[in-house]
Amino acid sequence: DEMTPEEREFQERIGRGEKIEPKEWMPEGYRKTLIRQIGQHAHSEIVGQLPEGNWITRAPTLERKAILLAKVQDEAGHGLYLYSAVETLGVSRDELLAMLHSGKMKYSSIFNYPTLNWADIGAVGWLVDGAAIMNQVQLQKTSYGPYSRAMIRICKEESFHQRQGYDIMMKMAFGNPAQKAMAQDALSRFWYPSLMMFGPSDKDSVHSAQSMAWKIKINTNDELRQKFVDQTVPQAKYLGLTIPDENLKWNEDKGGYDFSEPDWSEFFDVIAGNGPCNRERMNARVKAWEDGAWFRDGLVAHAEKTASRRAA
Ligand code: 3HC
């Protein structure tokens, strides 16, 4: 083959299931793929705060408010672990944020959909966090040490997020007819966008083959999407809600459900920047960055003053 001796040794380490650590040799493509994927993941965590933060002031009870507040704070923490993991690959957080703000880096398609009412917060926890965990459980075994360790921590918190979402859905679905209708409406709107979170179908996934050879990804997009559908259908049934897919049917042979693919043209449109909330999300992130400039300047000034006092 065309591998250099270094590349061959690297691939053998991957084959043995060894973790790759920051200061160790790695192929440039491996580093770039990690920066892209972990960076995109970090951006998703902090952009993902926006649709939920939108409901903190309007949560129906004090208890729900406290829970949602904790969850949204967790997402900020996840962003921080992940930005730290990317920084070990030689890119600063400022550079990453600049690439997010200029549109050079992506974040998850799902956060470009609006949260219109309280049932949507239930659906986001149940479906969006449910899809996120389905993807992240396998990433705990990813070959890059810092990413893998961040994922272990994140998955624990993510399971709590999924449970709180399902708990909201139970309250709504078992509530009065108007509440049940809201729960159904939220499921109907979030179903296909949640399926899109796993990325394009395997035949259109440009990065999967190489990322799996490097064990950056452990499962393909379609494998995880199938597992998510299989896990979610009984949960919807328990709630007495209907998944908006006429083709949804148990397939005995494959031991899983057959289901309709999402509208992939909508997906590609959303990741190209044209989803319902892309501009709103980016404006909010850029404004937060600009509004925080005085604080970052203050921190730097303080650090310089302290350092010069120490030198004197
Ligand atoms: N949203 C936006 N872009 C997406 C996407 C999605 N749901 N799915 C795929 N893409 C993009 C890819 O980034 C790639 O574009 P690029 O070359 O410009 O980067 C293109 O579509 C082709 O897709 P591939 O399948 O080839 O890309 P990947 O191999 O990177 O697979 C992935 C996509 C499965 C999303 C993978 O990157 C991944 O597992 N990422 C880590 C998990 C992650 O980012 N999760 C965010 C979800 S939500 C979250 O974490 C917050 C939670 O707390 C609620």
Q: Is the predicted ipTM greater than 0.90, yes or no?
A: yes
**pLDDT at residue 222 in the model:** 98
User: Is 75 touching ligand 1 by the criterion CB < 6 Å?
Assistant: yes
The predicted structure's pLDDT at residue 33: 98
Residues 188, 126 contacting (CB under 8 angstroms): no
| Ligand 1 pocket, residue 130 CB under 6 Å | no
Mean pLDDT of 38-53: 97
How do residues 120-175 score in pLDDT, each as one tens digit?
A: 999 999 999 999 999 999 999 999 999 999 999 999 999 999 999 999 999 999 99
H-type alpha helices, the chain: 5-15, 28-47, 49-53, 62-87, 93-101, 118-123, 129-139, 145-173, 177-196, 208-213, 221-239, 264-269, 278-291, 293-311
CA of 302 to the centre of ligand 1 (A): 38
Q: Which atom of ligand 1 is nearest to the CA of 75?
A: 53
pLDDT of residue 271: 97
State mean pLDDT over 239-245.
98
Quote the pLDDT of residue 197: 98
Considering only CA atoms, which of 193, 90, 59, 73 is closest in space to residue 132? 193
pLDDT at 312 over 90: no
Does the beta carbon of 222 sit less than 6 angstroms from any atom of ligand 1? no
Mean per-residue pLDDT of the chain = 97
Residue of 36, 40, 82 best suited for mutating to test ligand 1, as the one with most atoms within 8 Å of CB: 40
**Average pLDDT of 46-55?**
96
The angle subtended at Cα 302 by Cα 307 and Cα 310, nearest 5°, is 20
Nearest CA to ligand 1 atom 45: 41
- CA of 41 from ligand 1 middle (Å) equals 7
Instruction: Tell me the whole-structure pTM to 2 decimals.
Output: 0.96
221 lines ligand 1 (CB under 6 A): yes
208 Cα nearest atom in ligand 1: 29
Summarised one tens digit per residue, pLDDT across range 184-221 is: 999 999 999 999 999 999 999 999 999 999 999 999 99
Q: Is 108 left (phi over 0), alpha (psi -120 to 50) or beta?
A: beta
- Going from the Cα of 288 to the center of ligand 1, the distance in angstroms, rounded, reads 24
From residue 82, how far is each of 31, 73, 195, 306 by CA, in Å? Answer: 15, 14, 23, 29
- Note whether 85 and 171 are within 8 A (CB): no
Given ligand 1 and candidates 30, 35, 41, which is best to mutate, with the most ligand atoms within 8 Å of its CB? 41
Longest CA–CA separation in the chain, Å: 77
Torsion region of 52: left, alpha or beta (phi above 0 gives left; psi -120 to 50 gives alpha): alpha
Ligand 1 pocket: which of 35, 37, 99, 151 to mutate (most atoms <8 Å of CB)? Answer: 37
Ligand 1 nearest atom to the CA of residue 107, by list position = 2
pLDDT at 1: 64
Mean pLDDT over 288-292 rounds to 96
Q: Tokens for 147?
A: 């990413």
Which tens digit of pLDDT belongs to each residue from 62-97?
999 999 999 999 999 999 999 999 999 999 999 999
- Give the mean pLDDT of 248-265: 98
**pLDDT for res 2:** 83
Residue 152 is predicted with a pLDDT of 95
Q: Average the pLDDT over 296-310 and give the result.
A: 95
Residues in contact with 164: Cβ distance below 8 Å, sequence separation at least 6, in sequence order: 67, 68, 71, 125
For the stretch 15-31, pLDDT in tens is 999 999 999 999 999 99
